[in-house]
Structure 1
Amino acid sequence: MDRYRVVCLGGCLIAAVEGYAQSPPTDTVRAVESRTQVSAEATSDAHQARDWGLRPDEWARYRQLMQGPLGVYSPNLDPLTALGIEARTNEERRRYAELQVQAEARRVEKLLSYQRAYDAAWQRLFPDLQRMNGFEAPRATTVKASPARLAVFVKADCPPCVQRVQQLQAAGTAFDVYFVDSRPDDARIRQWATQAAVDPAKVRARTITLNHDAGRWQSLGLTGDLPAVVREVNGQWQRQ
């Protein structure tokens, strides 16, 4: 039998020996794939570390921490918070706190810039149409509640926050709950609302609304611990 096969591709003759070309050994293929994967992961880690302002060794420590108990209890914890909680010295703790404040300031400024762009777009496209609650920019940084409503800022692991919400609910008050540091995870808010015994019927009727804070609390410039119950008075948000 002729050991050659002549194939014509695009006018060129290519002579190939049948059975000569063989696939590389499986071990070789796996080794190449493994090196490629390791290289891609290293590149990804370097990019993510740079995005958070961290050194490669700090990112590696964050990855290690999230594989332990911290990652079990708080699986969605951001790198700066994780490293700050597990800081080994005061200097480390101060460094991560400063990095987080700077990152949060940049995030809030972006949100504010987008809110301004959204407001301008609405005014330009629909100048005669009044906006309704629920049709505003996603996770806007300004509180858009009716003056008759209260805005209640809460956080996780805060018994006074739960007590305050329960008091307002028992009094029949209409209010909007803003969950600080929800990152933003709807499941965290739902779990908190269940623990706080928020009445689902009141939520469906929008007597009580559950919202991600998304920088609102910081944008108000108010001081003091949470919970914070605030109301707009003459254009200014004040603690009640």
Structure 2
Amino acid sequence: MLKLEDTYLHKGKRKALVRLLREKGIQSERVLDAIYQLPRHFFFDSALVSHAYEDKAFPIGEGQTISQPYTVAFQTELLEIKPGDKVLEIGTGSGYQGTILHILGAEVYTIEYQKKLYEGTKRFLKRLGIEMNLFYGDGSQGLQEYAPYDKILVTAGAPVVPNALIKQLKPGGILVIPVGDRSTQKMLKLTKKTNTQVIKEEFDSFAFVPLLGKDGWK
């Protein structure tokens, strides 16, 4: 089992990573501080732990990845998290992104399609003492039982914006989702002004693992 040690060396590497993210255009000091606070190397397999503070995505098993820190920061900044926000995350993965949301004061509901990954991450977050609501299931359908949400974050590339996610968003809420083909997606920010009006903003292209499920890739 990986020892959860956070040394001065790790903190120095995080400080350098935060500096790089700021240079790349991340402006929210709250987001940058959350990334500085959270030891990313805790979420890595011991064989890859030396790469934890590179601005790259890395495999975490089950065909999934831990997202590039810039991508995590970019998506989180678009969400405009306020303390107390009820947030649904589609694609728990390693738990890193959800923990960033937790540090920012969100009440996190997160759903994972891969059973083995869900079980492993649930055990790990409990070990870290991170309290969030973890579920196993088809995230492309959202999580209707606990809707509506202030914010919804999708951490996998979708072929379309699932209608279920728009419906589960509160009026005034924000959905951040990468949409495109299996190799490249445009980052979208959808702000639900009213139940019938949604404002769409389009940002840079990214490359995510595919969103699986009924309204994802089959």
Is the TM-score greater than 0.5?
no
Coarse TM-score class (shorter-chain normalised): under 0.3
Structure 1 length-normalised TM: 0.23
Q: Give the TM-score normalised by structure 2.
A: 0.25
Greater share of helix residues, 1 or 2?
1
Q: Which has the higher strand share?
A: 2
Select the structure of larger CA radius of gyration: 1
